[in-house]
C-alpha cells in the first residue's frame, strides 16, 4: 500500500498545481478540488504527508518517460552538411529577429532550422524563448522538453523551462527546473535570481488568504492598478518618511501592521465587490462569487459596510 499512497500523493500534488495555474474556470477548479478530497479520503493521505513525495513531480516523471520512448526526439540520421549549414544561418536570422523583437519571425526561422536539423537542442531552446515572448508558454515548455530530451546537460533549456512555468504560475515545477539549471551551471546569477523569484511567488500564492479566495495573490500584488490603489490605501511606514522623529513621539493610535492589513483587505473587498465587466489583461483579478470577510482566515472581528 505504501507505493499506492505515494502515487496517490503525487497525483494529488499534480491536481493541486493545476488548480493554481490560472487556466481553469471556477467549475473546473471545483471539480479538481473534489477529486483531491476523494483521493485523500480513499488513500488516507493529506498535504502534510511530505514524506510521501517522490523525487520528481509527477508531470516531470511522465515527460521523461515519454521523451525516452519518443523516436522522433533524436533522429538516427544526421543532417547533410548543406542542411546543417543552412539551419545555422536560419538560427542566426532568428536571433536577429529576437533582438529586433520580431518574435513571430524568429519562431518561423527557428522552425525552419529545426526542419533541417532535428538533432540540435539549441534550435528548440531558442524557439522556446520566442514562444515565451509571444505568451505561448505551453509551446515553450514543449520545445524545452525536446531540447532536454536531446541534450540533458543543456542548462539553458532547464532555465527557460523554469521561466515558462513561472509565467504559467506553476511555481513548484519552475523551482525544480531552476535548481536543475543551477546544478549544471552553479555560478549563473540569472538562474539564482529566477529561482528566488519563483520561490517568493510560490510562497505568496500559498498564503492562507490567497488560498481562501481561490486566486493567485502574486498576480494581485503585482497588478499595476492595485499597486496604485495600495499606495493610496496603505501609506508607507511613518518611520521612513520626513519627520520620523515626531512620528515616533506621537505614535498612530492603530499599530502600523494592523493599518497595513486593514488597507489590504479594503483592496481585496474592492476587487471582489466590483469585478471587471470586460476581459482583463494578464494579472487582473475577477471573482464572480460573493465572499464575506468571515470566510477569509484571520479577519475575525473586522467589519466593512455591505459585508455579512
CA-CA distance, 198 to 182, in Å (whole number)? 14
Domain of 126 in residue numbering reads as 81-205
Assess if residue 284 is contained within a domain: yes
Assess if residue 88 is contained within a domain: yes
CA dihedral 288, 293, 299, 301 (to 10 degrees): 180
Assess if residue 282 is contained within a domain: yes
Residue 86 Cα distances to 9, 79, 126, angstroms:
48, 10, 16
Residues 133 and 242 in one domain: no
The 10s digit of each residue's pLDDT in 16-35 is 887 776 667 888 888 989 99
pLDDT of residue 198 exceeding 50: yes
Residues 143 and 227 in one domain: no
Asked whether 145 and 161 are in contact (CB, 8 A), the reply is yes
The 10s digit of each residue's pLDDT in 92-112 is 999 999 999 999 999 999 999
- For residue 117, the number of C-alpha atoms closer than 13 Å in the C-beta half-sphere is 24
Assess if residue 66 is contained within a domain: no
Residues 87 and 140 in one domain: yes
Assess if residue 251 is contained within a domain: yes
Asked whether 148 and 158 are in contact (CB, 8 A), the reply is yes
Assess if residue 61 is contained within a domain: no
Residues 192 and 93 in one domain: yes
Helix (H) or strand (E) holding 259: helix 256-273
What is the structure's pLDDT at 263? 57
Asked whether 22 and 281 are in contact (CB, 8 A), the reply is no
Residues 284 and 220 in one domain: yes
Residues 116 and 164 in one domain: yes
Q: Work out the average pLDDT over 108-125.
A: 94
Residues 284 and 248 in one domain: yes
Residues 198 and 221 in one domain: no
Residues 155 and 246 in one domain: no
Q: What is the CATH number of the domain that holds 49?
A: 1.20.5.420
Q: Work out the average pLDDT over 278-295.
A: 44
How many domains does one find in the chain? 3
CA 240: distance to chain centroid? 33
C-alpha cell at 130: 520566442
Residues 123 and 219 in one domain: no
Residues 198 and 232 in one domain: no
Residues 162 and 118 in one domain: yes
Asked whether 116 and 93 are in contact (CB, 8 A), the reply is no
Least confident among 68-72, 124-128, 136-140: 68-72
Query: Mean pLDDT, the chain, as a whole number?
Result: 75
Band (82; pLDDT cuts 50, 70, 90): very high
pTM listed for this prediction: 0.51
The contacts of residue 299 (CB under 8 Å, 6+ apart) are: 265, 293
CA-CA distance, 22 to 137, in Å (whole number)? 13
Q: Which of 180, 205, 230 is the last residue of a domain?
A: 205
Residue 143's nearest CA partner among 118, 172, 168 is 118
Assess if residue 253 is contained within a domain: yes
Amino acid at each position: 500500500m505504501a507505493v499506492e499512497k505515494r502515487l496517490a500523493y503525487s497525483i494529488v500534488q499534480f491536481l493541486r498545481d493545476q488548480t493554481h495555474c490560472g487556466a481553469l474556470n471556477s467549475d473546473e477548479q471545483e471539480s479538481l478540488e473534489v477529486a483531491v478530497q476523494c483521493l485523500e479520503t480513499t488513500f488516507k493521505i493529506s498535504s502534510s504527508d511530505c514524506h510521501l513525495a517522490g523525487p520528481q513531480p509527477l508531470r516531470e516523471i511522465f515527460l521523461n518517460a515519454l521523451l525516452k520512448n519518443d523516436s522522433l526526439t533524436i533522429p538516427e540520421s544526421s543532417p547533410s552538411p548543406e542542411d546543417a549549414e543552412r539551419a545555422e544561418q536560419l538560427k542566426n536570422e532568428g536571433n536577429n529577429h529576437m533582438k529586433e523583437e520580431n518574435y513571430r519571425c524568429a519562431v518561423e526561422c527557428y522552425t525552419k532550422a529545426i526542419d533541417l536539423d532535428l538533432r540540435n537542442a539549441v534550435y528548440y531552446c531558442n524557439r522556446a524563448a520566442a514562444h515565451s515572448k509571444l505568451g505561448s508558454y505551453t509551446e515553450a515548455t514543449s520545445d524545452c522538453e525536446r531540447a532536454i530530451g536531446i541534450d540533458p546537460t543543456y542548462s539553458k533549456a532547464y532555465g527557460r523551462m523554469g521561466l515558462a512555468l513561472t509565467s504559467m504560475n506553476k511555481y513548484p515545477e519552475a523551482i525544480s527546473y531552476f535548481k536543475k539549471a543551477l546544478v549544471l551551471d552553479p555560478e549563473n546569477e540569472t538562474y539564482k535570481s529566477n529561482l528566488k523569484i519563483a520561490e517568493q511567488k510560490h510562497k505568496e500564492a500559498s498564503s492562507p488568504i490567497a488560498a481562501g479566495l481561490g486566486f493567485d495573490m502574486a498576480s494581485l500584488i503585482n497588478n499595476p492598478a492595485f499597486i496604485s490603489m495600495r499606495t493610496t490605501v496603505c501609506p508607507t511606514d511613518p518611520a521612513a518618511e520626513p519627520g520620523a522623529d515626531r512620528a515616533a513621539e506621537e505614535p498612530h493610535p492603530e499599530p502600523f501592521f494592523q493599518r497595513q492589513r486593514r488597507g489590504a483587505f479594503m483592496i481585496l473587498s474592492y476587487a471582489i465587490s466590483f469585478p471587471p465587466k470586460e476581459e482583463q489583461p494578464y494579472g487582473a483579478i475577477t471573482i464572480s462569487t460573493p465572499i464575506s470577510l468571515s470566510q477569509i482566515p484571520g479577519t475575525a472581528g473586522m467589519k466593512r459596510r455591505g459585508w455579512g
